[in-house]
Amino acid sequence: MKRFTIIILMSLYIIFSCSAGGVSESESGVNPETQIQNVSDNLPDYDTYPELVELMNSGAEYYLVDVRTAGEVATGYIPGALNISHENILEIEAEKDDIIVLYCRSGNRAGVALRELEAEGYNNVYNFGGFSKWEGETAYP
C-alpha cells in the first residue's frame, strides 16, 4: 500500500511540475528571461565567482571579509580578504556606503554578519556565500 501511495504522489508531482510553466512570451508580450536579466543587470550581487572577480578587477574600493574562525582561515582564504569573525563583524573599519563582500564556509555565518551590518546602517553588503565557490588562487597565512 505504501508503494502504491508513493507512486501516485510521484506521478502527481511530475504532472503538476510539468504543467506549472509560467506565462509564455506570446501570452504576455514580454520574454520572462529577458525581463529577469534586465532586472539583475541593475543589481550588483557579487555572489558568484565571476561577479566577485569582476569587482576585484574593477579598481573599485571594497572590503572582502572572511568571517570564518582563524583556524578555518589557516586552511586557506581568498587573497586580499580580511579576517573578522562573524561575532566581531561590527569592528570593521568601513564607511556605511562602502562595498563589503562577506564569505564563510557555507554562507550561513556571512548571512548573519550581513544582517548585523545592515541593521547598523551599512547598505552595500553582499554575501558571496561559501569559500568553496572560490575558483581562483588560495592564499595561506
Selected catalytic residue, list 89, 104, 114, 125: 104
Measure the N-to-C terminal CA separation of the chain; round to a whole number of Å: 59
**22: Cβ contacts below 8 Å, ≥ 6 apart:** 32
Q: Give 68: exposed, middle or buried? Use CB within 10 Å, 0-12, 13-18, 19+.
A: buried
SS3 4: helix
Judge whether 104 counts as a catalytic residue.
Answer: yes
- In 3D space, the residue among 64, 82, 87, 88 whose CA is nearest the CA of residue 141 turns out to be 82
Which residues are part of the catalytic machinery? 104
